[in-house]
Amino acid sequence: KSQRHNTTMSPSRIIFGSCNSQHQEQRLWPSIIARNASAFIWGGDAVYADSKRFGKELAATPEIAAESYQTLLNNSGYQELIEQNKTIVGVWDDHDFGVNNGDRTYEHKQAAADLFVKFLQESNKNIQATHKKYSWPLMEQRAKKNKGVYSVVVFDFEREGDPLLTDEEAGIDPEVNEGEVKPLSNKSVAIFLLDVRYNKTPWIKG
């Protein structure tokens, strides 16, 4: 049975996390789970797919990135968060993108985008059957169209049950907004997930 409608939940609580190395002990999950939030937002670096050897920075291959995500998905603490049927979404930064301080020149960026979306989908696999919105369709479309993984998610904590709105209900994303601003309650929260890697211009070398 889904815990989304559990009356003990704190429906107006959202947790943000970032900079999580899958190589380190995952001590954060018990504290995050104990906060009993409605959603967990990755703010970047869900994993560290890139590496350093003999002082040289090495970009991740798609195979290494996939293995990094799977290591996190297999972690017992993260699995417990998934099993609680929380909304898990977010955006990447350089290390889960695949290269330190990465930009648009990264040769595996298309594969990296596909892997990131798949990671989010796996993180929401228990509730995808309830509604397509948990598969992040607009983000997936952008990844496939070589646009990156940016998106916006909106929660309305005034309505009963699941506070996560579909893209159409929120009416903010330009892919679904037809110029009409939809009214939202004063207990709505919009989180803009900005991709600052996929199309980033390289730093000018001085």
Cβ atoms of 59 and 106 within 8 Å: the answer is yes
Q: Express each pLDDT in 91-122 by its tens digit.
A: 999 999 999 999 999 999 999 999 999 999 99
Across 10-14, 174-178, 188-192, 195-199, least confident range: 10-14
Cβ atoms of 75 and 24 within 8 Å: the answer is no
Task: Note the pLDDT of residue 11.
Answer: 55
Residue 6 pLDDT > 50: no
Cβ atoms of 116 and 94 within 8 Å: the answer is no
Residue 9 pLDDT > 70: no
Q: Express each pLDDT in 45-96 by its tens digit.
A: 999 999 988 789 999 999 999 999 999 999 999 999 999 988 999 999 999 9
Residue 149: which pLDDT band, with cuts at 50, 70 and 90?
very high
d(CA 164, CA 157): 8
d(CA 101, CA 187): 36
